[in-house]
Amino acid sequence: SSVTIPPPECMLRPLEVPFRYLFGPGPSNVPPRILAAGGRAIIGHLHPEMYEIMNDIKKGIQYAFQTQNNMTIAMSGSGHAAMECAIFNTVEPGESVLVAVNGIWGERVAEIAERMGANVHIMVKAPGGIFSNEEIEKALAKHKPVLFFLTHGESSAGLAHPVDGIGDLCRKHNTLFLVDTVASLGASPIFMDQQNIDILYTGSQKALNAPPGTAPISFNERACQKMFNRKTKPVSYLFDMAHLSNYWGNDGQPARLFGPVSGFQCLSRQYPSWRHHREVAGYLWKGLEDMGIKLFIQNKDLRLPSVTTIVIPEGYNWREMLQYMMKHHNMEMTGGLGPSTGMVMRVGLMGYNCQKTNADMVLAALADALKNCKKSKA
Ligand code: GLV
């Protein structure tokens, strides 16, 4: 045999990546302090210093989740990795799962659970809809699921769904309560232990302000009891919590998995702030309303501080507005996602990007787009 595919020249060229204002639903711009942590020397994924870094990550997640759970780790992969890990480990084929769908993330979880052979029941609302605790309890009683899924930060709708009381209902019905906080963690308060959330996960690339590619997840004692007493093995080796827990040093056995060293170095330096997100989001919301832009979630208390959804202004094409702002302001905002596509545009000010000067830039870019993108009346 001989080499017939020549080496690509691009690999010898220095990498050029433009700076952009990432004011969409993520990833967000990463502060130099965290980028620098990822640019430090690579060490072995089993070196003692790596375990110190993982210990820092664990403490950071325990703080951000407000939990004392020992089974608190970060995985390699996006928020989807944690989503699949949660479901694959706590549900066995044939078991009943209940999913609240009010945007894209519930849809995704229902599909993942279906693919692994669960018996999936969904409760559906339009994007941004709220499920009352009464509705949830009724569905728990009817379907007797082993797991109930709710999205705390529904980024497709810009909604922060209330969580209080649901964990207690799940306990009463012998159901595990799984909450997705990929878009909300670090921006909108969550109290894993006090709210009786059994499994909680997030992603690195939003309000936590690390690069994409790692995903914190935590399981409490109830969740561990269920997942470590299964009859079948989880469908994924990489996402099997027996192996992940072993890598995180929980069983004293030689490690069977490996971690993303640079990604963990970055994640170990995340530092979220609810107060900061609330203040800047409030400032942005007022600015938008003063311009006559309508917010998609009307009740301020239910708005996600990290991702704001705005109603597409009458007489405008949202794609054109987004392209205009990218071209003239070097700024990313996005359209809706899944069921909210065509309904909203989304602005995210997260972590390092969460500053009033950035909110002013967003408002100026939108005002400019409104001035220049109006559809002509044909
Ligand atoms: C991703 O999380 C998105 O909401 O677009």
> pLDDT by residue (tens digit) across 168-184?
999 999 999 999 999 99
Q: Looking at residues 4-25, what average pLDDT do you find? A: 96
pLDDT band (50, 70, 90) for residue 295: very high
* Residue percentage of the chain with pLDDT more than 90: 98
User: Rounded to the nearest 5 degrees, what angle is found at the Cα of 22, between the Cα atoms of 18 and 342?
Assistant: 120
Q: Please give the ipTM for the structure prediction.
A: 0.88
| Pocket of ligand 1 contains residue 262 by CB under 6 Å | no
| Pocket of ligand 1 contains residue 337 by CB under 6 Å | yes
pTM reported for the whole predicted model: 0.97
Residue 35: its pLDDT value, please? 95
Q: Do domains 22-26+273-372 and 32-267 have the same CATH topology?
A: no
Tens of pLDDT along 311-339?
999 999 999 999 999 999 999 999 999 99
What dotted CATH number matches 22-26+273-372? 3.90.1150.10
Residue 271: its pLDDT value, please? 87
| Pocket of ligand 1 contains residue 350 by CB under 6 Å | no
41 CA to centre of ligand 1 in angstroms: 31
Enumerate the known binding-site residues for substrate: 346
The residues spanned by each domain of the chain are 22-26+273-372, 32-267
pLDDT at 377 over 90: no
Pairwise pLDDT comparison (271 vs 238), residue with the higher score: 238
pLDDT at 376 over 80: no
Enumerate the known binding-site residues: 346
pLDDT at 349 over 90: yes
pLDDT at 45 over 60: yes
User: Is CATH 3.40.640.10 the classification given to domain 32-267?
Assistant: yes
Spatial CB neighbours of 138, under 8 Å, sequence gap ≥ 6: none
- Where helices occur in the chain by DSSP H, the ranges are 32-38, 48-65, 79-90, 104-115, 133-143, 166-172, 221-227, 241-247, 261-267, 274-290, 318-329, 356-372
Residue 375: its pLDDT value, please? 81
Q: Are 137 and 109 in contact (CB under 8 A)?
A: no
Q: Residue of the nearest CA to atom 4 in ligand 1?
A: 155
pLDDT band (50, 70, 90) for residue 272: confident
Distance CA(70)–CA(220), nearest Å, equals 8
| Pocket of ligand 1 contains residue 25 by CB under 6 Å | yes
pLDDT, averaged across the chain: 96
The atom of ligand 1 lying closest to the CA of 24 is 5
pLDDT at 4 over 90: yes
pLDDT at 378 over 60: no
Which residue among 107, 156, 208 has the greatest number of ligand 1 atoms within 8 angstroms of its CB, and so is best to mutate? 156
| Pocket of ligand 1 contains residue 183 by CB under 6 Å | yes
Q: Looking at residues 254-261, what average pLDDT do you find? A: 94
Q: Looking at residues 236-259, what average pLDDT do you find? A: 95
The atom of ligand 1 lying closest to the CA of 155 is 4
Distance CA(356)–CA(208), nearest Å, equals 18
